[in-house]
Structure formats: C-alpha cells, structure tokens
Amino acid sequence: MTIFSKIVKGEIPSYKVAEDDQFYAFLDINPVAKGHTLVIPKQEIDYIFDQNDKQLAAHTLFAKRVAAAIRKAIPCKRVGVAVMGLEVPHAHIHLIPLNEESDMDFRKEHLKLTPEEMQEICQKIAAQFE
C-alpha cells in the first residue's frame, strides 16, 4: 500500500482540505509555498496518465475545484499545477499558490511550517471548497 493510500484510510494523519468518494486533497507535508496541496485519486494508481479517460477527467475537475478554493484562501497570482511522481508511486497533482516563478522551484529550500500554521492554512482552504 502506498503512503497516500494510508493517508486516505486515516492510518497516517494529513491536513485534509477536501474529499469526495473518488478523490482526496491534502497539504503537502514539505511545501514549496504556503498552501501547497496534493490531489490524489483514492484508488491506488501509480501515475496520473495510467488513469482511464473518465477518471483522469474527474481527477482534473476535482483539482480545479481545489485550486479555486486555494485561490480564495491564499493570496496569489495563479495556482501552479505540476505532476512529477518521482517520490510517491500514487498519482497526484501538485497545486501551488504562485506569486513568482521561483515559488514552484522544487530544488529551493522548502518551507518549515509549524503544525499550527499548517492547520490554519488547511482550514482556510477547506472553508472555501465548493
């Protein structure tokens, strides 16, 4: 089982911002920007493009709703979208609030946020999810 499946099952804690029957969105534990969120299918699928067309479309549309919530909750110019999957073999879309290009640089030093800060960001985004 992947670490993200354990998160979906609640075996590992996460800062959940949204979910439905198919998808789950939660804060990245090692964020490159405040509000950095991961959107995953609950079904364990390695890579985003391994999903069939219907599920890929639903995944993208769910991420769109999460991005709208991020945009309302976190001041930013855009919400950046990235897919890498080099670390965790469970399809996920990175959503990252952007004010400048370097906000999406995964090689720079990541933020060190306290649990209280993570909780506050999580609640702000969750409150805007429609």
Query: Where does this chain touch ligand 5GP (CB under 6 A) — which range of 25-33, 46-54, 69-77, 120-128?
Result: 25-33
Rounded to whole angstroms, the Cα distance separating 31 from 57 reads: 26
Interface residue with ligand 5GP among 84, 102, 117, 119 (CB under 6 A) is 84
Interface residue with ligand 5GP among 19, 55, 85, 126 (CB under 6 A) is 85
Q: Which residue has the tokens 């976190």?
A: 74
Query: Where does this chain touch ligand 5GP (CB under 6 A) — which range of 43-51, 60-68, 70-78, 79-87?
Result: 79-87
With binding defined as CB under 6 A, does residue 29 bind ligand 5GP? yes
Instruction: Give the closest residue to 60 by CA, choosing from 26, 16, 91, 27.
Output: 91
Instruction: Give the closest residue to 90 by CA, choosing from 122, 54, 59.
Output: 59
94 noted as active-site residue: no
With binding defined as CB under 6 A, does residue 3 bind ligand 5GP? yes
With binding defined as CB under 6 A, does residue 103 bind ligand 5GP? no
Handedness of CA 117, 3, 21, 58 (dihedral sign): positive
Run of H or E including 68:
helix 53-73
Instruction: Give the closest residue to 25 by CA, choosing from 4, 45, 6.
Output: 4
With binding defined as CB under 6 A, does residue 30 bind ligand 5GP? yes
**Positions that interact with ligand 5GP (CB under 6 A):** 3, 12, 14, 26-30, 38, 84-88
